[in-house]
Amino acid sequence: MSTIRPRRLRSDLNIRNMVRETRISSKSLILPLFIKEGSSIKEPIVTLEGHSYYSPDTVQEGIEQALACNIKTVLLFGIPKEKDDIGSGAYCENGVVQQAVRHIKAMYPGVTVITDVCMCEYTSNGHCGIVENDRVVNDVSLPYIAKIALSHVKAGADMVAPSDMMDKRVKAIRKILDDNGFYETPIMSYAVKYSSAFYGPFRDVAKSAPSFGDRKTYQMDYHNRREALREALLDIEEGADILMVKPAMSYLDIVRELRDNTQSPICAYSVSGEYAMIKSAAQKGYIDEYAAMCESAAGVFRAGADMLISYYAKELSKAIEKGDIG
């Protein structure tokens, strides 16, 4: 008769906590914030319940809420008033993100500010690069993406996160930052970003849906696993400091693939569609929102992520404090 009984280590809460394999800290959570160009803006976001648009002069309200939940890292997305073919608002010295970064760092120097580096919110066509003959042109886009990153860092950003999925954009950003003396500014690369149906609410929030076609020529095909490791290794070679997998929920095998085959810190982005699914299912009474939130986040860390970008970051931090997760 076997003397091994796994249930012995599940017999009470203290023992279960003692042998828990996956540990989560609020220090590993990152909260997205959406910054609208203008002033005195605090506007609820309909498609992301519980979140708001802020303007650069009101963003401290979002920061204060984050700090109250022990969240000290934010990821900024900008929504400009005007767009053009080259996304010039993205790298403007007084652009919406640049204003917000300066405001946050002046008031809260201890908050880590990461900025999303992309063109889709700023281009009139909604694509993530320069368009020629109805096609996003990779190498023509690189100098623009690099300029965006540099403008964010000059404004005071602690880290930049390129999300465009252009080949060699990490190399271009690393070079321009180094050439301007920003050797120590890290790059969190959206290394493995799939062309996904789960981005719907975000595209409405950021007004960044493509005006024609889709993003399948630059975002990854969700059938592919080996290609994810290839993308990640290329970004490491180009100078990426942190690798991101996006989305999270349907791509936990990719998180594990990168964890097993690289030494880089891994971030996962639990995207707007994942958040909306839990919210809407809970509102219909199909699931327990709090329990589903905790379980899905634990799955991301169990798969091997070191950090998580989540619209539930504040709620997750409170759950960690209560001991319900982590």
Domains in the chain: boundaries:
23-322
d(CA 4, CA 151): 60
Which pLDDT does position 126 carry in this prediction?
85
Which pLDDT does position 1 carry in this prediction?
64
Query: How many CB atoms are located within 10 Å of the residue 297 CB?
Result: 27
Nearest 5 degrees, angle CA 251-CA 256-CA 261? 130
d(CA 180, CA 161): 18
d(CA 293, CA 296): 5
| Among the listed residues 208, 192, 139, 195, the one whose alpha carbon sits nearest the alpha carbon of residue 169 | 139
**Which residues are designated catalytic?**
193, 246
List the structure tokens of 184. 């120590």
Which pLDDT does position 85 carry in this prediction?
92
What burial letters (b/e) apply to 32-70, b meaning 16+ CB within 10 Å?
bbbbbbbeebeeebeebeebbbbbbebbbebbeebeebb
> 313-322 vs 59-68: helix axis angle to the nearest 10?
20
Which pLDDT does position 78 carry in this prediction?
96
CATH architecture classification, 23-322:
Alpha-Beta Barrel (3.20)
Tens of pLDDT, residue by residue, the chain (326 residues): 678 989 989 999 889 988 888 989 999 999 999 999 999 999 999 999 999 999 999 999 999 999 999 999 999 999 999 999 999 999 999 999 999 999 999 999 999 999 999 999 999 988 899 999 989 999 999 999 999 999 999 999 999 999 999 999 999 999 999 999 999 999 999 999 999 999 988 878 876 777 776 788 899 999 999 999 999 999 999 999 999 999 999 999 999 999 999 999 999 999 999 999 999 999 999 999 999 999 999 999 999 999 999 999 999 999 999 998 98
Which pLDDT does position 199 carry in this prediction?
92
- CA separation (Å) from 118 to 121, 165, 190, 306, 325? 7, 9, 11, 23, 33
Which pLDDT does position 14 carry in this prediction?
87
